[in-house]
Structure 1
């Protein structure tokens, strides 16, 4: 049930009737007609822009259309008031039992809020995809939370979602990892070592070196690099991926699949993807213009193999093969996305860190070219996270050597707080993460405030359950006509927004909207709770009055159910009680 969609259907039916009556001309498109909450709740329950968007194509005064539409809507038994405001805005108020019906629906329908928006379309969400050279850091944490919540949201909205991690194990950084592990391996054999030439000094490689010693004994000691590099690279990469999987599991993130960049090399997959672009006339030999701004000292014009990405919206064409015949870093990424297209996904989403902003247009151009514009790619960038503790920037991790790890954060505050707080800002906005404030028990802490609402509901339900039936099945059938106080109706109206909000968030790929909504819902709930402190008639449990108690418990149980759905999308387990 989506009440806003239902009322929109009624508005469209009235518009159709106005066409039949000759008030409106035939052939008008109603695609832009919307029904949504008014900006000011004092104006009504819902508002429609129908007259405003139809006025120009109908060549009519919007006020005339609005007046005619209002008269038709008043014939609908669900609509109590239809008022025209300003140049042609139309505000509506619904009869009380419509709102009371929302509560009944939430209690009776386990799928309340779930949508068929996606219609089973295959959606790939690729996120995290960190280099397998060490533990995940706090920047990866935000990308992991955002990507996972987005995948959950899309699944809730009716898409067939696959969550994938792209393992960047084909570049030079993996050779550096192998050399770093070799140093720890030698250290495990009692040798003194020095981490130079950009090798990774973090303590997290100590157990990897020890594990390599246990597996290989002294077989690599004193041997030249060509003897051990490939084998240790494979061993180290798998060890790092085990570490990364464990870190993600700490956060409640489980991938559906992992795709290795290395699998693209030597298998013809890169060549096949480039050949596909070549067949479309998008590959040519050429020389790029020098980079804008300060000229690099080592820059010189070289003929390269280029992808004509400007034909698909990019700013400049991009090299895919160097003058020496080796592939650029862009070529395997093209091949990877070509593989996604070939796997039959209807839509693709990539979640990148903020430092990949310059990569968006070229990747979109590649997917557009490879799919003939049929498979949209949305690239979401997650901005930086600034960590604070006791008002000061949080110190770097000794275990990682150079950065704060995902595990550092989760160990400090737990996975639920980490996940929720990472979604309290839009993904492309910077985020401050204060270890003290995210654990603070106050209205200013959204994590606490939403959990407190859920726990308060549980407490009231338990109290009421001592003298009356508070099962959801029973509550769905009780008389709710007594729920007429403004604070009660405000809460119900917020519940009615849930299905609409889900679809808005899913269309925009914006899971932060779920966190915002839950905070607003919790705020309306707490406001009603506090009204009960001053007015006993508004208290959830009315001693000796089973019918009234059941009605009030029905309302707040509906709140708890929606909170549970919302937290499920965020990947957060609610607190059953607060201590």
Structure 2
């Protein structure tokens, strides 16, 4: 049940009647007509822009359209009042029974309220994390992992079939560096003193990997030249790092459906096939690029390269796919990887990148547009940096990693639930300050605590309620007792959930769910606080069982919505705190 969608349908029906009767010109597009909460709650329950968007194409004054529309809407029992405001906005006040009807809908649907049947939407691939397999995940990866996983959960909730995917960057030179770093730890495990040259990975996390390599091959590699051990150690080290990454993700509650190896693209014809597909569309040519911005002509040597005509699909410049020496550029395997996604039949692709990949957005979107003939959209979401603090002071680096704070550092400090929710308290492309002390304090200023506490408080009230009251029993309660403005305000906020979750999914913005849950929790806490000051507003009233049942139905509905939202974010609802 979506009250906003129902009222919009009512508005559209009224407008169509006006067109059929000649009050409005026939054939007007109603696609841009919206019904949403007004900016100021004092103006009403909902507002529609119908008169404003139709005035110009109809050749009429907005207020004239609004007045005529208002007269039709108030004839419906669901509308208590329709008031024209400003140049032609129409504010609507709904009958209390409309809001009350939300409660049985929530209680019957449970935590699935606001969701859509699985498979009713699109087949979507969400690729996120995709960190180089050279070490443990750091705090930047943590934000991308949380955002990507929450986005996948959000898209699933509204009916899409979602594949969570990790692209293993195991085809580049950094994996050779990893292998050499593990080899040094291997020699160390044999009692040798080693020094880590610049560019290698000196973190302590490779100590057990070097020991594991020793346990596997003994001293076979000790006096062997690099050409003898590099390939085997590279594979051994990569798998060890990927297991470490899988364990880190599991600790955060992230489970991938697919781990896709970049290395699998080489020597298999997949890169060649993707480039050939672009060539078949006339988008591959031999040419020379202009010097990059900031390069003086004398510093630039133009070379003949194989180029992708990405400007034909919205990019700023064409992009090289093969170097002058015949080797593939980094872009080429990425094209092949996304071509594989297109060939797997996804309706839409989403990539979650770190902030430093902003320059990659247009070229990758151009490639997917070209490979799919514009059929498959690619949305690339960038996650900005996270700054860590503890009691207002910068959080110290990880000894284990050597140079950065790891995902495990964060989880060990505050837990997975707090980590996930806190990472979603800002939009993905906005910087995030993460203060460990604030993330664990029990106050209204801590969103995750405030939302969890609302869920736990409701659970406590339900336990105290006399008898075993089922959701089915509460769904049949007489809700006419819910008349206080604080009760109705909480009910209206809960009713916004289907609209909110749909708009958040459309915009690919799971942080909206976190913001909404905080607002819903605030409305609940406000009502609960009123009950302390005014006994007649308490949830449990021994002198008024009908009132008690109605209020239990209300707060149980709120609890189910909170549970649904937390489920999308991957946070476990708390029943006790």
Contact preservation (8 Å) 1:382, 1:427: yes
Q: Distance in 2 between matches of 1:453 and 1:327?
A: 55
Contact preservation (8 Å) 1:117, 1:503: no
Q: Residue 82 of structure 1: SS of its match in structure 2?
A: strand
1:196 and 2:206 matched: no
- 1:542 is displaced (CA, Å) by 0.8
1:341 and 2:342 matched: yes
Structure 1 residues 503-545: Cα deviation after superposition (integer angstroms, max 9, x where no partner) = 1100000000000000000000011111112111111111243
- 1:390 is displaced (CA, Å) by 2.4
Q: Distance in 1 between matches of 2:192 and 2:113?
A: 63
Contact preservation (8 Å) 2:355, 2:384: yes
Q: Residue 565 of structure 1: SS of its match in structure 2?
A: helix
Contact preservation (8 Å) 1:131, 1:168: yes
1:167-566 equivalences under 5 Å are 167-295=168-296, 299-464=300-465, 467-566=466-565
- 2:572 match: 573
Q: Residue 109 of structure 1: SS of its match in structure 2?
A: helix
- 1:64 is displaced (CA, Å) by 1.2
Structure 1 residues 366-388: Cα deviation after superposition (integer angstroms, max 9, x where no partner) = 10111111100000000000001
Q: Provide the aligned length of Structure 1 versus Structure 2.
A: 576
Runs (5+) with no aligned partner, structure 1? none
Q: Residue 572 of structure 1: SS of its match in structure 2?
A: coil
Q: Distance in 2 between matches of 1:442 and 1:374?
A: 48
- 1:419 is displaced (CA, Å) by 0.1
Q: Residue 481 of structure 1: SS of its match in structure 2?
A: helix
- 1:471 is displaced (CA, Å) by 1.4
Runs (5+) with no aligned partner, structure 2? none
Q: Distance in 1 between matches of 2:24 and 2:199?
A: 72
Structure 1 residues 340-367: Cα deviation after superposition (integer angstroms, max 9, x where no partner) = 0000000000000000001100000110
1:81 and 2:74 matched: no
Q: Residue 302 of structure 1: SS of its match in structure 2?
A: coil
Q: Residue 223 of structure 1: SS of its match in structure 2?
A: coil
1:51-66 equivalences under 5 Å are 51-66=51-66
Contact preservation (8 Å) 1:118, 1:154: no
Q: Distance in 2 between matches of 1:270 and 1:138?
A: 32
- 1:7 is displaced (CA, Å) by 0.5
118 and 38 in structure 1: CA distance in 2 versus 1, 3 angstrom threshold: farther
Moved over 6 A (4+): none
- 2:152 match: 151
Q: Residue 386 of structure 1: SS of its match in structure 2?
A: strand
Q: Residue 478 of structure 1: SS of its match in structure 2?
A: coil
- 2:19 match: 19
Q: Distance in 2 between matches of 1:117 and 1:360?
A: 30
Contact preservation (8 Å) 1:457, 1:556: yes
Q: Residue 374 of structure 1: SS of its match in structure 2?
A: coil
297 and 569 in structure 1: CA distance in 2 versus 1, 3 angstrom threshold: farther
Q: Residue 507 of structure 1: SS of its match in structure 2?
A: helix
- 1:115 is displaced (CA, Å) by 3.2
Q: What RMSD in Å do the two structures reach over aligned CA positions?
A: 1.2
Q: Distance in 2 between matches of 1:208 and 1:87?
A: 70
1:71 and 2:71 matched: yes
Structure 1 residues 13-66: Cα deviation after superposition (integer angstroms, max 9, x where no partner) = 111111222111110100000100011111111111111111111111111111
Q: Residue 426 of structure 2: SS of its match in structure 1?
A: coil
Contact preservation (8 Å) 1:115, 1:503: no
1:98 and 2:98 matched: yes
Contact preservation (8 Å) 1:468, 1:550: no
Q: Residue 23 of structure 2: SS of its match in structure 1?
A: coil
1:2 and 2:2 matched: yes
Q: Distance in 2 between matches of 1:286 and 1:154?
A: 42
Q: Distance in 2 between matches of 1:454 and 1:296?
A: 64
Which 10-residue stretch deviates more, 208-217 or 541-550?
Answer: 541-550
